[in-house]
Structure 1
Amino acid sequence: MQRYILSRLIQSVCILFGVLFIVFFMLQMTGDPVSLLISRHASPEEVEAMKEELGFNRPLPVQFFEFVSGAVVGDFGKSLRHHQPAMDLILDRLPATIELAVTALLISLILGIPLGLISGSNPGSFWDVLSRGTGLLGQTIPNFWLALILILVFSVHLGWFPSFGRDTWTILGFTLPTRSVILPAFSLSLFTMGQLVRFTRSAVLEIRGEDYVRTAYSKGIADRKVYIGHILRNASIPLISIVGVQFGYLLSGSIYIETIFSWPGLGNLLAESIGNRDFALVQAIAFFSSFVVVALNLLTDIAYGLADPRIRY
């Protein structure tokens, strides 16, 4: 098991260094951020002075080395627009993104797994058709289009939910979400829910035909115990990897949803920083998001190896 974990850890570190390289040099090709920060009537001397102050006139290898050196210790410099440390801005917006991602994941789990279990247990039934249709819609409908439809129906016409912003309740020092998270979380959860329905259904259909399940039925074991002790337990093994990967997607892939709902999270901050060519902030958010995804994938691989001994061998 130690060798399995070590190999995954080495792979994760290599991926993170590759992310640093790609993020840095791709941003360098987007243009000169000084042109957005200084007046268009500024003299060439003033432009060069600002480049000297921000360090953009140094050779790219030197800038890249300083970027990597700072990234290792969590220092990505100051935002060019906000004039604050980039990591402080990320940590300030992180709770809102975590709230949105966790709520979306819970919606996906609560709806997706039961639908997949019912569908796989009753192939060809009405519930099977409904579940397969839900899975198909979840993986084909663009979440930004769904977000606009939800705003039109539930915010504009019915007035049940707010259409933008984030409201919270504070009870005994704990910050709790309110109705404002429902629409963006549901929009974000639809794709993950569709995947969970499909994979759960496929896993249940496959496991139902295994010899140990038929043996359990032949012994007269009740259906509920067979599903809980054999089918659901074994179906959960492939679902571990899906949930881990999709939670990373929910954390890092919510830029459109957060922008549409004006949700004050990392996705909204990333959209603003890209428009402003805020190099330090874009680099920090891109690396932080990649780090979260890689860390979740690493934990998923470890959990998968613990759940299924065949994987680690």
Structure 2
Amino acid sequence: MLIVISIVSFSLIKLAPGDPVQSFITPAMSDNDILRIRQNLGLDRPVHIQYIQWLKNVITGNLGYSLINHRPVLNQILERIPATLGLMGSSLLLSILVGIPLGLISAANKNKWIDNISTIFSYVGISIPSFWFAMILIYTFSLKLNLLPSIGMRTVGVYTTWDLIKHGIMPTIVLSLQNVAVITRYIRSSTISQLKEDYVMVEYASGASKAEVLYKYVLKNSILPVITIVGMSLPSLVSGAFITETVFGWPGMGQLGINSIFSFDYPVIMAITMFSSLLLIIGNLLSDILYGIADPRIKELR
């Protein structure tokens, strides 16, 4: 899968308009100077030769050097990946902590006012553009109320945990909004289906309360689709991180990727693409493993 992704990505990058050599050209340069720059960057060789050379380097752990700042690509990725993983992890955690209870409450109060509000919230969360929502939050909480910082991961010279949390609140909310909406809808649908099962009626007949039935019995069966949703949501988290990190100036892989795309920094673009793809593949693998652990019947079918 990674090899296929690398071939497609490398081909698309080469087909895209733009030339990284333009970043080095000055009016005083001759055609021979420009040709030497292209040769030094390895861009004068055929595309398939460039790909094979890149693949050989990657297999040996060498992701190359940035065409713009000439720093090792791997070092730049390692510097920024903790910020991206932290933002994605906190967003995923928030999505689960908010989406599951909201879906349960919505299903338990089907067609009532709280269910209607939850449904409206879900539709809005799925439909609203993340960059627009990010700008609304910045305008409201940073410019008008002056409660939260609008950009960056830390305040200059401040290294406290609370400062990091304040900087991460708005990016986390923006990145998790769509997942909260999706998880809420899935949990609601699954819970409504489970409430019609015979075991629920048996528990009620045994004297169990509504809350006990929901959180002790129904939740266990309703939560299974969430495992799949979490695996499916990883692509949206990765792509959403590009937009969110750029809007909020979050120093993660998303921001690095956007800057690399605008500067035609091919080695960095390929490295971020492969790292993102690897995260998605590992996430889907973990999702399958967790599904088998949560539902032993899956192992029996295998």
TM-score, normalised via structure 2 length: 0.92
Equivalent position of 1:287 in the other structure: 274
Shift in Å at residue 252 of structure 1?
4.3
Shift in Å at residue 266 of structure 1?
0.9
Amino acid across the alignment from 2:13: L
Equivalent position of 2:212 in the other structure: 225
Equivalent position of 1:207 in the other structure: 194
Equivalent position of 1:275 in the other structure: 262
Give the conservation status (yes or no) of the 8 Å contact 2:104–2:214: no
For 1:70 and 1:304, the matched residues in 2 are separated by 36
Shift in Å at residue 176 of structure 1?
7.6
How many residues are matched? 297
Shift in Å at residue 103 of structure 1?
2.3
Give the conservation status (yes or no) of the 8 Å contact 1:252–1:289: no
For 2:140 and 2:159, the matched residues in 1 are separated by 29
Gaps of 5+ in 1: 1-14
Is structure 2 residue 191 aligned with structure 1 residue 216? no
Equivalent position of 1:165 in the other structure: 152
State which of 74, 83, 95 in structure 1 corresponds to 2:82. Answer: 95
Equivalent position of 1:17 in the other structure: 3
For 1:59 and 1:40, the matched residues in 2 are separated by 27
Give the 3 Å change call, closer, same or farther, for CA 307–72 of structure 1 in structure 2.
farther
Give the conservation status (yes or no) of the 8 Å contact 1:252–1:293: no
For 2:239 and 2:77, the matched residues in 1 are separated by 12
RMSD: 2.0
For 2:62 and 2:225, the matched residues in 1 are separated by 37
Secondary structure, counterpart of 2:258 in structure 1 = helix
Shift in Å at residue 125 of structure 1?
1.5
Kindly report which structure 2 residues correspond to 1:87-236, keeping only aligned pairs within 5 A, or say none: 87-167=74-154, 170=159, 177-236=164-223
Equivalent position of 1:10 in the other structure: none
Give the conservation status (yes or no) of the 8 Å contact 1:248–1:296: no
Superposed CA offset, 1:82-112 (max 9, x none):
2111111011011211222222223222222
For 2:240 and 2:213, the matched residues in 1 are separated by 38
For 1:29 and 1:41, the matched residues in 2 are separated by 29
Give the conservation status (yes or no) of the 8 Å contact 1:109–1:196: yes
Shift in Å at residue 309 of structure 1?
3.5
Q: Judge which range, 96-105 or 231-240, deviates more.
A: 96-105
For 1:54 and 1:76, the matched residues in 2 are separated by 14
Give the 3 Å change call, closer, same or farther, for CA 60–117 of structure 1 in structure 2.
same
Amino acid across the alignment from 2:76: L
For 1:75 and 1:253, the matched residues in 2 are separated by 28
Superposed CA offset, 1:264-295 (max 9, x none):
11111111100100000011011111111111
For 1:81 and 1:264, the matched residues in 2 are separated by 18
Secondary structure, counterpart of 1:254 in structure 2 = helix
Q: Judge which range, 299-308 or 119-128, deviates more.
A: 299-308
For 2:27 and 2:244, the matched residues in 1 are separated by 34
Shift in Å at residue 25 of structure 1?
0.8
Equivalent position of 1:12 in the other structure: none
Shift in Å at residue 259 of structure 1?
1.1
Superposed CA offset, 1:126-161 (max 9, x none):
211111111111101111101111111111111001
Is structure 2 residue 13 aligned with structure 1 residue 27? yes
Equivalent position of 1:37 in the other structure: 24
Q: Judge which range, 25-34 or 268-277, deviates more.
A: 25-34
Gaps of 5+ in 2: none
Amino acid across the alignment from 1:22: V
Equivalent position of 2:73 in the other structure: 86
Runs of 4 or more above 6 Å deviation = none
Shift in Å at residue 20 of structure 1?
0.4
Q: Judge which range, 154-163 or 209-218, deviates more.
A: 209-218
For 1:288 and 1:175, the matched residues in 2 are separated by 29
TM-score, normalised via structure 1 length: 0.88
Shift in Å at residue 227 of structure 1?
2.0
- The percent of aligned pairs where both chains have the same amino acid is 37
Secondary structure, counterpart of 1:243 in structure 2 = helix
State which of 273, 279, 301 in structure 1 corresponds to 2:288. Answer: 301
For 1:220 and 1:90, the matched residues in 2 are separated by 56
